[in-house]
Amino acid sequence: YDYWFPGRQVERLYDAAVADSVTRPLPPTINARTRDEWLANTHSLFGRRFKGHLEPRIQVSHPISRTSNLFFNYGHFSQRPAYFYVYAKTNAQSSEEFPRIGNPDLNPEVAVQYELGVNHQFAPDKAVKVVVYNKDIYDYPTSTTLTLTDRGTRRADFFVYRNLDYARSRGVEIEVRKQRTNHTSWAVSYTFSNAKGKSSDPNNLSVVRESGGDARETALEEEYMWWNRPHKVTSWFTYQIPRGDTGGKFLGLRLPQDLKLNAYFMMQSGRAYTPEDVFGNFTDVAYSKNGPFDSSLNATLVKGFQLGSRHFELTLQGWNLLNRRNATDFDPVTGERWKPGQGSLGVNPLDDPASLQLSDVELAEVANVHLDVNRDDPRLNGLPPGSAEYEQVYSELEAEAAALVAPGLRRQVIATINRYSDPSMIAAPRHVRVSIGMEW
Least confident of 194-203, 267-276, 429-438: 194-203
pLDDT > 90: percent of the chain: 59
Rounded Cα gap, residues 343 and 354, in angstroms: 15
SS (H, E, C) the chain: CEEECCCHHHHHHHHHCCCCCCCCCCCCCCCHHHHHHHHHHCEEECCEEEEEECCCEEEEEEECCCCEEEEEEEEEEEECCCHHHHHCCCCCCCCCCCCEECCCCCCCEEEEEEEEEEEEEEECCEEEEEEEEEEEEEEEEEEEEEECCCCCCCCCEEEEEEEEEEEEEEEEEEEEEEEEECCEEEEEEEEEEEEEECCCCCCHHHHHHHCCCCCCCCCCCCEECCCCCCEEEEEEEEEEECCCCCCCEECCEECCCCEEEEEEEEEECCCEECCECCCCCECCCCCCEECCCEEEEEEEEEEEEEECCEEEEEEEEEECCCCCCCECCCCCCCCCCCCCCCHHHHCCHHHCHHHHHCCHHHHHHHCCCCCCCCCCCHHHCCCCCCCHHHHHHHHHHHHHHHHHHHHHHHHHHHHHHHHCCCHHHECCCCEEEEEEEECC
- Whole-angstrom distance, CA of residue 205 vs CA of residue 227: 19
User: Can you tell me the distance from the alpha carbon of 63 to that of 89, in angstroms, rounded to the nearest whole number?
Assistant: 56
Per-residue pLDDT of 135-179, as tens digits, reads 999 988 887 776 665 545 545 567 788 888 889 999 999 999 999
Judge whether residue 279 has pLDDT over 50: yes
Q: Is the pLDDT of residue 213 over 70?
A: no
Least confidently predicted of 179-183, 301-305, 367-371, 378-382: 378-382
Indicate whether 208 pLDDT > 50: no
**pTM to 2 decimals?**
0.81
Residue range 431-439: mean pLDDT, rounded: 94
Is residue 90 very low, low, confident or very high in pLDDT (cuts 50, 70, 90)?
A: confident
Q: How would residue 96 be classed by pLDDT, with cut points 50, 70 and 90?
A: low
pLDDT for position 170: 96
Ordered domains of the chain (ranges, CATH): 54-228 (2.40.170.20), 244-335+435-440 (no CATH), 344-419 (no CATH)
- pLDDT tens digits along 311-328: 999 999 999 999 999 999
Q: How high is the pLDDT of residue 20?
A: 63
What's the confidence (pLDDT) of residue 431? Answer: 96
pLDDT in tens, 336-380: 999 999 999 999 999 999 999 999 999 999 999 988 888 888 888
